[in-house]
Amino acid sequence: MFHQGHLCYTMDILMEYVLIKKKRKKKMKEMPVRWMKGAQLFVGLQMYRMMRMGKSLQRQESMNKLKQHLVEYHEI
């Protein structure tokens, strides 16, 4: 599948974002709204990209398995 580090990195951002959202009432003055929106967009894009990558990789893997299966079948 995709890089574990990449996933962890994205999860870190997500967790940070969630924490920020929880503390928002206190921190809203310190945190610019534009930054929040940017982080949200960035995380969304990352997740979407990873999902797309994962799907295409899975599809390729299943195709390869199928091909291998056919080859083995023909050899018998």
What residues does each domain of the chain span?
A: 4-75
The answer to pTM > 0.75 is no
Q: Percentage of residues in the chain with pLDDT exceeding 70?
A: 33
- In angstroms, rounded to a whole number, what is the distance separating the alpha carbons of residues 70 and 6? 34
Could you report the per-residue pLDDT of 27-51, keeping only the tens digit for each?
A: 555 555 566 666 677 777 777 777 7
| pLDDT(67) > 60 | yes
| pLDDT(15) > 60 | yes
Token readout for 55 is: 């799907």
Could you report the per-residue pLDDT of 19-31, keeping only the tens digit for each?
A: 666 655 555 555 5
Residue located via tokens 């091909």? 67
